[in-house]
Amino acid sequence: MELGKKTWAIAEGYIPAWSHGPEPQMTSHEAACLLNASDRDAHVEIMIYFSDREPVGPYKITVGARRTKHIRFNNLTDPEPVPVDTDYASVIRSDVPIVVQHTRLDSRQDANALISTIAYTE
Amino acid sequence: MELGKKTWAIAEGYIPAWSHGPEPQMTSHEAACLLNASDRDAHVEIMIYFSDREPVGPYKITVGARRTKHIRFNNLTDPEPVPVDTDYASVIRSDVPIVVQHTRLDSRQDANALISTIAYTE
Amino acid sequence: MELGKKTWAIAEGYIPAWSHGPEPQMTSHEAACLLNASDRDAHVEIMIYFSDREPVGPYKITVGARRTKHIRFNNLTDPEPVPVDTDYASVIRSDVPIVVQHTRLDSRQDANALISTIAYTE
Amino acid sequence: MELGKKTWAIAEGYIPAWSHGPEPQMTSHEAACLLNASDRDAHVEIMIYFSDREPVGPYKITVGARRTKHIRFNNLTDPEPVPVDTDYASVIRSDVPIVVQHTRLDSRQDANALISTIAYTE
């Protein structure tokens, strides 16, 4: 079964610079949740866009056939870490159709806040 | 009246492992809100995808004609409960067009957080 | 200028039963934000769907040409109030194209939570 | 690479009137996050719609080639500031394809709340 699209974008990117509460669940983070419902592994490349310099990437990720992977941008390191407290955006491309949803947990204050939205696709 | 689509996906799935506040309203939970605006009952099947094992399902649900049903993933038990504190994703199929929206209430800290997004459809 | 669609759906509907903080800003509420960017008044009808009874409506609203109107479901009274602490869903139809976004403010606990998503359209 | 669309709308607009926590990160604000993945600068115009008066604008913004810009509505001043504690909506047009996501941080109470959704496009 194939489901989804090969190109996705998340225009809102921001990793809060501090956290409040037990790790790793309550650590402030931003995630791209990838679903690969197909029967082939998905080879995914993420490009990160900034406000004041050229894009960085690709960050390469494999999502196995019939698997989901929730990527924390905080954990991306190659080619370089994604800076905190910095506006960014991302474009996500895959060689098989996938579905992408964007989520952030912000635990900077006493109680955490959450956002989530389906990403843009075309 | 028919409204919606027959195939939907929610790439972000995660049931917080603990809660804070009166049950059942403030219990941490994740929901798929299904709207069947048609004049026929909708027979819905949900498959749950994981990061490290094969998908589980289908979970079978009927949404009556001209009814909405807000399914808490916490309450799904057949063929097996959805584990808490675990990344998952879901694909939702119906035999009549429906509309699907994803919501989570996270009450792990003193004040609850909420997310909601229209699901992906094609 | 015409922008948007004539049919929209919000599968997630729920008005929290209590609030915390100064009224009216911090009163728990659910809203459909309607944008009519056209040069003609939009005549809008909202139908409310429930889990266990027939739909109620239409609730009739006019959004002037080149105006936005943020409808609090809490404030709908004709043909009947929308019950609190009850799952519902809504279908919104307009005679001119509009854009619909769904928002909830939940102030049941010490700090408020918010959700928002673009509604489903076709 | 071109990605996105030239016309976007955000039906929900509201800047909370007060804040709680360190500036500028925790200042209540509303943002349109714009991603221009193309190789040409994007010339963007924002029109603001109100419930009780004619639209205001255009607010003009340039997003460089291969750049993202997270616009805080709070910071728009020309032709006039966007009022706080007031319902509004926005239409965003660009001469090259872009992607638009809507976000609000609400820090009126002790802990912040967040919303985000992909904007409407056609």
Using CA coordinates, name the residue in chain D closest to C119. D120
- Asked if C87 has any chain B CB less than 8 Å from its own CB, the reply is yes
Name the residue in chain B with its Cα closest to that of D118: B117
Judged by a CB distance cut-off of 8 A, whether residue A117 touches chain C is yes
Is the confidence at residue D40, as pLDDT, over 80?
yes
Show Cβ contacts of residue C73 under 8 Å, excluding neighbours closer than 6 positions.
C13, C15, C29, C30, C31, C32, C48, C82, C90
Contacts of C116 (CB under 8 A, 6+ apart): B116, C101, C102, C103, C104, D12, D102, D104, D115, D116, D117
Q: For the residues of C72-112, what is the DSSP string, one character each?
A: EGGG--SS-PPPSS--EEEEEEEEEEEEEEEEEEE-SSSS-
C-alpha B74/C-alpha B15 separation (Å) is 7
Pick from B102, B111, B116: CB nearest A111: B111
Asked if the Cβ–Cβ distance from B116 to A116 is below 8 Å, we say: yes
Q: pLDDT at position A116, please?
A: 78
Contact C35/D49, CB-based, under 8 Å? yes
Whether residue A118 and residue B119 make contact (CB cut-off 8 A), yes or no, is: yes
Total number of residues shown for chain D? 122
* pLDDT single digits (tens) C62-109: 999 999 999 999 899 999 999 998 999 999 999 999 999 998 877 777
Mind listing the pLDDT tens digit for each residue in D4-15?
A: 999 999 998 888
Q: Which of residues 16-75 of B touch D (CB under 8 A)?
A: none
Instruction: Give counts: helices (H), strands (E), chain B.
Output: 0, 8
Q: pLDDT value at position B111?
A: 65
pLDDT in tens, B72-84: 998 999 999 999 9
Residues pairing with C42 in the sheet:
C63
Cβ distance of A107 and B109 shorter than 8 Å = yes
pLDDT single digits (tens) D72-90: 998 999 999 999 989 999 9
| Subunits with 3+ C-beta pairs closer than 8 A to A | B, C, D
ipTM above 0.90, yes or no: yes
CB-based contact (8 Å) between D109 and chain B? yes
Q: pLDDT tens for residues A79-121?
A: 999 999 899 999 999 999 999 999 887 777 766 777 778 888 9
The pTM assigned to this predicted structure is 0.93
Q: How far apart are CA C53 and CA C46, in angstroms?
A: 16
Contact A110 C113 (CB under 8 A): no
Of B102, B110, B117, the CB nearest to A111: B110
pLDDT band at A54 (very low <50, low <70, confident <90, very high): very high
Q: How crowded is residue A78: how many other Cβ atoms within 10 Å of its Cβ?
A: 9
CB contact under 8 Å between B110 and A110, yes or no, is yes
Subunits with 3+ Cβ pairs within 8 Å of D are A, B, C
Neighbours of C85 (CB within 10 A): 10
**Rounded Cα distance, A17 and A10, in Å:** 20
pLDDT of residue D111: 65
Which chain B residues are within 8 Å of C47, Cβ to Cβ? 37
